Amino acid sequence: MSLYRPVSIGSLSLPGNLFLAPVAGYSDRAFRSLCVDQGADFTYTELVSAEALVRLPADLNTSKSGALLRRGRGEARYAIQLFGANPEVMYRAVLRLAPFRPEAVDVNSGCPVPKVVKAGAGSALMRDPAVLGRVVEAAVRASAEALGGVPVTVKMRSGWDSAALNYREAAATCQEAGAALVTLHPRTRAQGYSGKSDWSHIADLASRLRIPVAGSGDLYTPEDAERMFRETGCAAVMFARGAIGNPFVFAAARARLTGGAYAPPLPGERLAAAFRHLLLLAEDLGERTACLEMRKQFCAYTKGGGPGIPRGNQLRERLVHAGAIADYRIILEEYGLGPQIRRISQAKICLNP
């Protein structure tokens, strides 16, 4: 039986089990669109503050968060991820998602960033599973009232630190609160992104819950995805850092899991994808902000998804100083990508409103 298979999350049926994780500062809807084009079966937005969401004006599209919440081009199925520690605020925040019609809502219980943790949210919720359960229950209740009962999922860590590995209790609490899927990144908050994720925690959780378990952590290649499926029995895998600068990993993973053929993208294909990413991002953020944001993204595209790019160091040195779309265009055309860049520039690229 193929490791690549459909997965059901509550009432939501997905055609496959390759997911894009919510990655702060990277999984904007422009990037999610590229991942969908490459075969991502389900995508998650960057984390959005529930507290901020309930304080925003009535028209969310006029706010910065509106760009984070909107569906990407071609994104038929996506989840909006929220973080917060107050059940009532989470309830009100989920109610505000109705205009965006997401296919799922995800509660963040894994982010280790200090400003999130200090608010009692993210991985701080692992210190009190009872509170986490109430936050999830509030999200489920709001989904039933305003979103047609779309599933609520949870992304969590193994625990606060090595002395408090309580993912079993936390996940069971979420399941009883109505969560339809749990994603486990098997590192502790104390680890951050250091050390090695312990996939045995994913296998343990998958054997215990009635709901599907998705695995995350140290997924960089198609071979990693195959190994995680085989070693853990998880229902889905979620690429995070492994997809940054490499949306092609989804097509590669699907080929690996189904026995199909796959050729890694050529350097020109990777850079052309990055330029398309820039144009899409500029529609949301404006040219100046998008160009600044894309400096780090272009560097990632030059390193991920295939063999090394010739003269990569020199290319990156120029890209990190680009401040306008015209600058990027000139740099890439001088690198020898004139035909690809002109074709992308002339194409009608428009995200869904």
Q: Is the pLDDT of residue 243 over 70?
A: yes
Among 326, 327, 329, 324, smallest CA distance to 343 is for 329
- Residue 206 pLDDT greater than 90, yes or no: yes
Q: Residue 261: exposed, middle, or buried by beta-carbon count in 10 A (0-12, 13-18, 19+)?
A: exposed
Read off the pLDDT of each residue in 322-349 and give the average, rounded to a whole number: 77
Residues 191-203: what's their mean pLDDT?
93
Q: For position 172, what pLDDT does the model report? A: 98
Q: What is the length of the chain?
A: 353
- What was the pLDDT predicted at 350? 43
Between the CA of residue 66 and those of 72, 140, 223, 339, 343, what are the distances in Å?
Answer: 12, 22, 36, 34, 30
Tokens representing 298 are 């272009």
The model's pLDDT over 83-125, given as tens digits with 9 standing for 90+, comes to: 999 999 999 999 999 999 999 999 999 999 999 999 999 999 9
Closest CA to 160 of 117, 194, 205, 107: 117
Q: What's the helix, strand, coil split of the chain in %, to 5? A: 50, 15, 35
In this prediction, residues 233-246 reach a mean pLDDT of 96
For residue 36, list its beta bridge partners: none
Measured CA distances, 327 to 56, 288, 310 (Å): 35, 11, 20
pLDDT of 58 reads 73
Domains, the chain: 7-258 (3.20.20.70), 267-346 (1.10.1200)
Find the range with the poorest average confidence among 247-251, 268-272, 278-282: 268-272
Give dist(CA 66, CA 257) in Å, integer.
36
Weakest mean pLDDT among 54-58, 93-97, 139-143, 291-295: 54-58
**Beta strands 18-20 and 236-239, pairing class:** parallel
CA pair distance 265, 173, nearest whole angstrom: 43
pLDDT of residue 307: 64
pLDDT of 65 higher than 70: no
Task: Report which of residues 251 and 58 the model is more confident about.
Answer: 251
Q: What pLDDT is attached to residue 349?
A: 47
Q: How far apart are CA 56 and CA 43, in angstroms?
A: 24
Stated pTM of the model: 0.92
* Annotated catalytic residue within 111, 174, 291, 299: 111
36-45 pLDDT, tens digit per residue, is: 999 999 999 9
What's the pLDDT score for residue 64? 67
User: Rounded to whole angstroms, how far apart are CA atoms 29 and 14?
Assistant: 19
pLDDT at position 227 over 50: yes
d(CA 53, CA 66): 9
Q: Which two tokens stand for residue 117?
A: 């943790």
Name the residue type at position 243: A
At 169 the pLDDT is 97
From first CA to last CA, the distance across the chain in angstroms is: 40
Question: Worst-scoring range by mean pLDDT, 113-117, 136-140, 170-174?
Answer: 113-117
pLDDT mean across residues, the chain: 91
Amino acid type, 65: S
User: What is the rounded CA–CA span in Å between residue 301 and residue 26?
Assistant: 12
Winning range, highest mean pLDDT, from 19-28, 230-239, 299-308: 230-239
Taking residues 176-205, what's their average pLDDT? Answer: 95
Give the Cα-Cα-Cα angle 339, 342, 348 (nearest 5 degrees): 135
To the query of whether residue 111 is one of the catalytic residues in this protein, the response is yes
In this predicted model, which residue has the larger pLDDT, 260 or 250? 250
For residue 62, what pLDDT is reported? 60
pLDDT tens digit sequence for 279-307: 999 988 899 999 999 999 988 888 866 66
**Reduced to 3 states, what is the DSSP secondary structure of residue 300?**
helix
Nearest C-alpha neighbor of 216 from the set 173, 172, 156, 259: 156
Categorize the per-residue pLDDT at 211 as very low, low, confident or very high, splitting at 50, 70 and 90.
very high
340 or 125: which carries more pLDDT confidence?
125
pLDDT surpasses 60 at 265? yes
Q: Is 21 helix (H, G, I), strand (E, B) or coil?
A: coil
